[in-house]
Structure 1
Amino acid sequence: MIEFKGENIYPEEVITYLKKNLQIKEVCNNILYQKIITQAVKERDINITPEEIQVEADRIRYENRLVKANDTLAWLTDQLVLPNDWENGIRDILLTKKLAESLFAKEVEKYFLENQLDYDQFLLYQIVVPYPQLAQEICYQIQEGELSFYDAAHIYDIDERRRKHCGYEGQFSRWNLKPDVASVVFNAKPKDVLDPLIIDQKSYILMVEEFIPAELTPQRHQEILDKMFKEWLAAELNYLLHA
């Protein structure tokens, strides 16, 4: 039972709420994931020291501007969490990180090299108009030097945000695009204005301003590590359910 704002809330009420709002499956999945992690950590004799917990707790306090001990206690009380529950939660997070590193840290570079094309990025500009004839006319004006791509986007694009940014759509990877579009884009040269494409009944004029070769940065290293660990967890859960 939890006392909240003067009212008692019982476990069965929490479960009923989660079921009615279609959240129960996610919670149950996470509980099973935690059981798998706990067992794997035990088998590999992975441990967390009190000092490591303290460092992470201090980081969380700093992020939440909890300067004094009383501030932290008040924050935990507001979250309906006891200090011991918080510490156990931190321990679980740190153990999960250590487990992921133990399983896959040495595999990240190999995975990156095998899938490097998926991590190449590019700066994409585009003009979207409703009619193919208009798209062809815009392309002609750009090719003849009557209008720059950026000016054309500012004048003709159907999207107000892109008009204001002269066609800038964003930084993308190959997997952000449909395969047929990705093939066209990655075979283009920077600054080339591509022939109009019909996508979802609209006409697109694309231009790649810059290609950005993939690098295994610390952030990308962590992304790949997290991906491999999540896939491992899902496989372990599937095995557990069908064993």
Structure 2
Amino acid sequence: MTAIVRIDDETIGSEDFVRILKLSGRFESLIDEIVRDRVAVHAAKKQGIPVSPDEIQARADQFRRVLGLHRAADMNNYLDGMGVTLDEFEAFIVDGLYQEKMMERVCSERAVEEYFQLNSPRFDCIEVSHIVLETEDQAKEMLSLLEEEPDSFADLAREHSIADTRDDGGFVGRVLRGSLKTDVEAKVFNAAVGDLLGPFPAPDKSFHEIFLVSAKHPARLDDDTKAEVRRLLRDGWLAARAQEHVIEAR
């Protein structure tokens, strides 16, 4: 067992490290990240994506500058301290470049625009407020009050809602499709601005929720939407590529 760290007379080794990661619930997420990175590297190599010596040198120099390792001797001491060879460091740099270039190809501007055009309703969003109450009778009574005095929504939320949004008058903010329960979402996104909806019970009937639709925002390919599309493209691509490999966690 390779020693990782020593605390007085106690040695924590590689097997201890893996066991701690597993028991703390961090092992799977770390393995997923490593697998995703390796899948991207394999795909980049398979597609013949080039990585030039100049790119490797520039990335290595950037790595050193970030860590404040301005002399070659400083870098060598840093790697020696971690037990990493220069060849291993270069392989790490090259793999990072492969990953980036592969993801740039997968998440190109054209790919983002095409995905958005095909799935634009997915990126519609609305602004909603809500009032959350414990019982159905309370919720129905509240809905009757709101129908008579719709402008009192914020005040009634502050006074009666049990949600943590009560201090903000029940204001939830912008909500994307997929953020609400399916049955609630269909009604909320089809509602008009100013509509009151509900009450909707929780699955266990522990609370009941009333919504007010305050604004609707049709999908736009702005910076936030582009970032979300890139995430979806990346995750979908990586999931598909992972099916092409035999992956076993030990």
Distance in 2, matches of 1:25 and 1:55, equals 32
| Paired residues for 1:228-243 under 5 Å | 228-241=233-246
Q: Is the 8 A contact 1:53 1:87 kept in 2?
A: no
CA distance in 1, matches of 2:47, 2:31: 25
Where structure 2 has 5 or more consecutive residues not aligned to the other structure, the ranges are: none
Alignment-mate amino acid for residue 231 of structure 2:
D
Question: RMSD across aligned C-alpha pairs, in angstroms?
Answer: 3.4
Q: Is the 8 A contact 1:193 1:207 kept in 2?
A: yes
Deviates more, 1:211-220 or 1:21-30: 21-30
Residue 99 in 1 paired to residue 106 in 2? no
Cα distance in 1, alignment partners of residues 138 and 121 from structure 2: 34
Residue of structure 2 in register with 1:174 after alignment: 177
Aligned residues: 232
The answer to whether the 8 A contact 1:122-1:212 is kept is yes
* Counterpart Cα distance in 1 of 2:124 and 2:70: 46
Q: Which secondary structure state, in structure 2, belongs to the residue aligned with residue 205 of structure 1? A: strand
Taking structure 2 as the reference length, the TM-score comes to 0.75
Give how far 1:223 is off.
2.8
Aligned-residue identity in percent: 25
Residue 171 (structure 2) pairs with residue 165 (structure 1): no
Equivalent residues of 2:126, 2:215 under 8 A apart: yes
Once the two structures are superposed, the pairs formed by residues 140-219 of structure 1 within 5 Å of their partners are 140-145=144-149, 148-159=152-163, 161-200=164-203, 201=205, 202-219=207-224
Residue number among 91, 109, 114 corresponding to 2:113 in the alignment: 109
What is the match of residue 220 of structure 1? 225
Which amino acid counterpart does residue 147 of structure 2 have in structure 1? Q
1:39 aligned to which of 24, 39, 42? 42
2:59 to 44, 53, 56: 53
Asked whether 1:122 is paired with 2:126, we answer: yes
- Once the two structures are TM-superposed, the CA of residue 138 in structure 1 deviates from its matched residue by 1.9
Give the direction of change, closer, same or farther, for the CA distance of 1:151–1:90 in structure 2 (3 Å limit): farther
21 and 149 in structure 1: CA distance in 2 versus 1, 3 angstrom threshold: closer
Q: Conserved in 1, the CA contact under 8 Å of 2:5 and 2:13? A: no
Unpaired runs of 5+ residues, structure 1, are none
